[in-house]
Structure 1
Amino acid sequence: MLVLGITNNDLAGACLLRDDEIVAAASEERFTRVKEHRTWPERAIDFVLAEGGVTLADLDRVAYGWHAGFDAERHLLLYVERVAHEATRRPEGLPHVRKRISDEIVNDRAKRAEFDEFAERHGLRDKVVLVDHHESHGMGAFVCSPFTDALVVTCDGRGDFQSLTISFVSGDEERVLQRETSVDSLGYFYGRITRLLGFRPNRHEGKITGLAANGDPERLLPLMRMMIDIEDGRLRARCGDYYQPSYDTYSDVLLEAVAAEPPADVAAAAQRHLENLLSELVTTHIAGVPTSNVCLGGGVFGNVKLNQRILECPGVDNVYVIPPMGDGGLPLHSAAVVAYREGGHRYDAPSMALGPTAATDDDTLANLLRSYPSLQFTRSDDPRGMLLKALEDNRVIGLYRGRMEFGPRALGRRSIVYRTDDPSMNDWLNQRLKRTEFMPFAPITADVLAASCYVNWRPDHAAARFMTLTYDCTPEFAESCPAVVHVDGTARPQVVRHEDDPFLHGVLLSWHDRTGQAALVNTSFNKHEEPIVGSPRDALDAVSDGIVDLLLVDDRYFVWADDTVNPIV
């Protein structure tokens, strides 16, 4: 069974599944070099089809997880009840509810028309499966999880008239326990705080998560509750001066209230409120279903601190966050749902090394370097030894290895690595990368060392392989690796198993043997507001521009600028 998943809304991209195999997946931004490119994913589609050696005519299904539309069974009673609630309790909010519904009808129409035109032009109309947006996130997370049953939670800004769903899923059951409208959106709540603090919503929420650790989370909770809260077990937004179901429109009352407070306190209160609300919903529902597993999908679960709180909820034993959790992951999410429902196929915590390969050899690299007269390269018979020596010499190293990762996290294929004993690097490396971050860089750790670093980490925590949740750090780790530990004592690790990446696993163990540091810094290989590097030229540009001191290509080649100390010496 061949299934092509496509999204052209928010972060465009494509994914190809063949039976039980994820053949390839990539976001269009990695080809166009436009961050979060909201366009038709022509190059991504061409890439995944080429990787599979197939054409559009060979496909069995084309999955699309945006704008499936208003469905009476899913949405009608939900909205009737929501309008009735507003009319009886807060009638002043009715115009805002009406506008949200109106916007929801109009939103995505042009993008859906673009998809429909593509399907019509290529004779694919009969192969199209429209998957409800939140079912794409939720069932996609379950299908890619290692669990046989789970409480499945989705949460984002909006999608197909919803912003949150909670379901119980097992091998023979899909049962929805709760839905919430796009009026009552925790994604909009957190995104609005992001904008109020001077950042771009739907992109820079991670900065708010990092900033939150520096503030008082309790003092401004009453302000957060004035925006959105739980009433009788349901999320209920308080539309008006303090909240709108949108990233736009801020009243003078709200702007003045936030401007009068320290930004860190605002961020801390928003983070705590988000954690409290979702933890309460998860704790309530996990007690009523025969599982202790939780699957998470949707952009809100890019919040790694929130995911730790959910893992710590009473009744929860394990959590899986689908690695491309937001809308950029929809090609995989929707395709996986179709493959599961029609063919019974599942994908157990799959690798995200699904993009284009580095695909270099001596001649290719030499030809590329003709355009970079200041760069040199060598092929090494001992790449591990050279890499470790460069780390000891305080070199910032770019990794350009094998297939590029799909999703927002660099996982050792398109990463920048550095030693973890220099806490000042959070300032100077961010300046070099032109980033403004409050979160420290993340650690990458071999699995056999992880238990000594991260409190309550277990080998079956698949989410930790993809840097999708934080852990409290042990005192020993915080002392030896301060560059990757946040002010609240947590870190968001990538834990590497030997079977997933033997070379990097060996480097991490050897580094620990040499230095006592149980991790290296792992941050994405890109400059601020640029996509993670895609082509070989993107990686070479980073060396030429001084973003990294040394480039490792495919675990064989090293590239450096000739005005630096020769890394071989």
Structure 2
Amino acid sequence: MRVLGISPLDKDSTVAIVEDGNILFAAGEERFSRTKQQSGFPQQALEAGLAYTGLSLSDFDQVVYPFLDWRNEQALFTRNLEDERRFIRSFRAPDLTTQVREALTRVPDRSRPIHGLGHPNEVMDKGFLHSSYYSMAGAQRLASNNAALKGSRQWSDAATESLRHWQETLVTGLRALGWQAPVKRMEHHHSHAANAYLCSGFDQALCVTLDGYGSGLAGSVGEARNGRIRRLHGLAYPNSLGTLYEHVTSSLGFKPSRHEGKIVGLAAYGDPALLADILLSRVLELPGDFRIYEANNVYFSRYLASKFPKIDVAAAYQFVLEHLATGYIRHWVEQTGIDTVVLSGGVTANVKLNQRIFEIEGVRRIFIYPNMGDGGCGTGAALYHSWPGGIRPTISDAYFGPDYTEQAMAEALDAEGLARRKPEHLAREVARLIHQGKVVARFDGRMEYGPRALGNRSILYHAREPEVNQWLNKRLGRTEFMPFAPVTLYEARERCYHNIRGAEHAAEFMTITFDCTDAMREQCPAAVHVDGTARPQLIRREVNPGYYDILKEYEAISGIPSLINTSFNMHEEPIVNTPRDAVRAFLQGALDYLVLGPFLVEHPRPAS
């Protein structure tokens, strides 16, 4: 069974080509268009996938899409928003003005600098008029109720138009390429559950999905066994942890659906206790469920952000996210007795949340699908409809994108007049350069699928100096609160990280944090966050020999089994795809060396 999966077109449009449950090719349109989270029909990604596999559209049995028809989607969320109206009118939240006044008395004085902030207690100062409006629409009950209901109406109108528009775009794009048969549609959260379960290699698992919105839901829990998934519960939209986190991301001055990772990093500096009770007082927690009061009122988080330090707002929202998600999952772990959890959905890009889920009593094993956001849904739908049955073996890697010939690499270097060498012992020489303090970009093999760079499109550096987080980010044009993530030899995992057993495979895809050992903190301070955690990629030689050998040679020189691995791209650009992308980013970022396949290239104008 050969199936073409296309992810939702509203953002991060992605193509997956799957045959009998095996992923032959998967890549996002952004890598070809060079526009971050590219929306629209994935023309270039599809053309690249067909060229790579040697297939044409006539060779496919099905084309699948992880949303229902727009009318069915509209019917689902319209019913939910009618329920929300009744809930808002009946819910009795404590007086917010009193809560805020008391919390303000507990804001601590801080003086220790935080990179990226002007002051550790910096707040969002939007001026008198904005602050006054936030105080009314975010804190005064009648006005805030109306703001929340208006927000839901606006969301409903926008969602209806978006779903209808992208449905027409999908059909038009496929017809232009010769596909005349109907598109097989799949319920959104079922596609998330499918990608997590069918790529985990587990026989039995509790499938948990958490995102913003999909087919009437913002999350789900299902029991998976023998290749089949049975839903146990759905979190009705708008009770959405994705929306909750999008609101605080926006309210703290970042781009929602793109910069949520910055909030995770920022949260570690703040005190969650300052505002957590205020947030939780607006949630109705039920056994295996919850409801969020005024879920679509963005002015509530803006009101808090205008009053309290950014770090404390971030900390409170991260705490509440963890509290609600772990409480929800804990209930279903206890109900089913299943000790294995698999995760998907945009919320599960939150690596600290995934650590908290793994720490739930009764959870013994965990797996997070590497492309957990909506970009991975087309793959989940294609896997589900192409798999003949039984348990599908786990994916060993996420190198599903294109690769390029040595000739294409040489031509890209020649176009910029760059000299190159072809070292006999490339890994050894690269390890020596990194040990000497050189920044090395690596481009080789098939491109990674999903949001993480996993060695084939990565920038490598030693993790011995914490200052690298400032100067390398500046060189790349980035502003980050998280430290760089480490790549660690698989066999050294327990030397570096506590409580990793049962999550080793998840850690091969850089999808979960762990508490670091004393040795890791001492040897690799640049890869350890202020809270003592790191988000590693574990690497085995059979998965990526060239990448592994660099790290193994580095360990032989330094005695340290970890390096910094950050994505090979410039700020706000997608990860590089082609050799030309790699050469351009190498030159713009003033990186010291570039490994382009078998070639080693020194920057013609090295940074001082």
Same-fold call, TM > 0.5?
Answer: yes
Residues 256 and 457 (structure 1), Cα distance of their counterparts in 2 relative to 1, 3 Å cut: closer
Which shows bigger deviation, 119-128 or 539-548?
119-128
- Percent identity, aligned pairs only, is 36
Q: Residues of 2 paired with 1:345 and 1:172: CA distance?
A: 5
Write the mapping of 1:88-167 to structure 2, written as runs, cut at 5 A. 88-89=90-91, 92=145, 97=152, 100-122=155-177, 124-126=179-181, 128-167=183-222
- Gapped regions of structure 1 (runs ≥ 5): none
Q: Residues of 1 paired with 2:179 and 2:389: CA distance?
A: 19
Q: Which amino acid aligns with 1:443?
A: P
Contact 1:13 1:26 survives alignment (8 Å)? yes
Q: 1:250 aligns with which of 299, 303, 312?
A: 299
Q: Which amino acid aligns with 1:45?
A: L
Residue matched to 2:6: 6
Residue matched to 2:384: 337
The Cα shift of 1:21 comes to 2.2
Q: Which amino acid aligns with 1:110?
A: H
The Cα shift of 1:20 comes to 3.7
Q: Residues of 2 paired with 1:19 and 1:232: CA distance?
A: 39
Q: Residues of 2 paired with 1:468 and 1:412: CA distance?
A: 15
Q: Residues of 2 paired with 1:191 and 1:76: CA distance?
A: 21
Residue matched to 1:561: 603
Which shows bigger deviation, 317-326 or 450-459?
450-459
- Gapped regions of structure 2 (runs ≥ 5): 93-141
Residue matched to 1:28: 29
Q: Which amino acid aligns with 2:601?
A: V
Q: 1:310 aligns with which of 357, 365, 377?
A: 357
The Cα shift of 1:346 comes to 2.8
| 1:401-456 per-position Cα deviation (integer Å, ceiling 9, x unaligned) | 10010100000000000001011000000000111100000000111111110101
Residue matched to 2:45: 44
Aligned residue for 2:271, secondary structure, equals coil
Residues 557 and 140 (structure 1), Cα distance of their counterparts in 2 relative to 1, 3 Å cut: same
Residue matched to 1:483: 526
Residue matched to 1:206: 261
| 1:87-120 per-position Cα deviation (integer Å, ceiling 9, x unaligned) | 5447956665555545443332101111122344
Q: 1:383 aligns with which of 426, 436, 443?
A: 426
Residue matched to 1:269: 316
Aligned residue for 1:287, secondary structure, equals helix
The Cα shift of 1:381 comes to 0.7
Q: Which amino acid aligns with 1:36?
A: Q
Q: 1:351 aligns with which of 397, 413, 417?
A: 397
Residue matched to 1:183: 238
The Cα shift of 1:318 comes to 1.0
Residue matched to 2:98: none
Residues 370 and 183 (structure 1), Cα distance of their counterparts in 2 relative to 1, 3 Å cut: same
Q: Which amino acid aligns with 1:379?
A: K
Residue matched to 2:555: 512
Which shows bigger deviation, 284-293 or 473-482?
284-293
Which shows bigger deviation, 46-55 or 456-465?
456-465
Residue matched to 2:57: 56
Which shows bigger deviation, 410-419 or 454-463?
454-463
Contact 2:366 2:503 survives alignment (8 Å)? no
Aligned residue for 1:169, secondary structure, equals strand
Residues 546 and 279 (structure 1), Cα distance of their counterparts in 2 relative to 1, 3 Å cut: closer
Aligned residue for 1:356, secondary structure, equals coil
Q: Residues of 2 paired with 1:96 and 1:460: CA distance?
A: 39
Q: Residues of 2 paired with 1:557 and 1:121: CA distance?
A: 40
Q: Residues of 1 paired with 2:327 and 2:371: CA distance?
A: 25
Contact 2:275 2:312 survives alignment (8 Å)? yes
**How many correspondences in the alignment?**
552
Contact 1:477 1:518 survives alignment (8 Å)? no
Residues 366 and 231 (structure 1), Cα distance of their counterparts in 2 relative to 1, 3 Å cut: closer
| 1:258-289 per-position Cα deviation (integer Å, ceiling 9, x unaligned) | 21211111111111110010000111001111
Residue matched to 2:415: 371
User: Is 1:408 matched with 2:463?
Assistant: no
The Cα shift of 1:291 comes to 1.9
Residue matched to 1:532: 575
Contact 2:226 2:391 survives alignment (8 Å)? no
Q: 1:170 aligns with which of 221, 225, 230?
A: 225
Contact 1:66 1:112 survives alignment (8 Å)? no
TM-score by length of 2: 0.86
The Cα shift of 1:559 comes to 1.2
TM-score by length of 1: 0.91
Q: 1:444 aligns with which of 446, 462, 487?
A: 487
Contact 1:67 1:109 survives alignment (8 Å)? no
Q: Residues of 1 paired with 2:14 and 2:156: CA distance?
A: 27
Write the mapping of 1:425-464 to structure 2, written as runs, cut at 5 A. 425-458=468-501, 461-464=504-507
Contact 1:216 1:264 survives alignment (8 Å)? yes
Q: Residues of 2 paired with 1:66 and 1:172: CA distance?
A: 22
Contact 1:336 1:346 survives alignment (8 Å)? no
Residues 256 and 104 (structure 1), Cα distance of their counterparts in 2 relative to 1, 3 Å cut: closer
Aligned residue for 1:376, secondary structure, equals coil
Q: Residues of 2 paired with 1:98 and 1:288: CA distance?
A: 36
Residues 523 and 72 (structure 1), Cα distance of their counterparts in 2 relative to 1, 3 Å cut: closer
Contact 1:21 1:347 survives alignment (8 Å)? no
Contact 2:15 2:46 survives alignment (8 Å)? yes
Write the mapping of 1:192-203 to structure 2, written as runs, cut at 5 A. 192-203=247-258
Aligned residue for 1:337, secondary structure, equals helix
Aligned residue for 1:215, secondary structure, equals coil
Contact 1:420 1:521 survives alignment (8 Å)? yes
Contact 2:590 2:603 survives alignment (8 Å)? no
User: Is 1:319 matched with 2:366?
Assistant: yes
Residues 75 and 368 (structure 1), Cα distance of their counterparts in 2 relative to 1, 3 Å cut: closer
| 1:151-204 per-position Cα deviation (integer Å, ceiling 9, x unaligned) | 111111112221111111111653222212221111010111011111011100
The Cα shift of 1:40 comes to 1.4
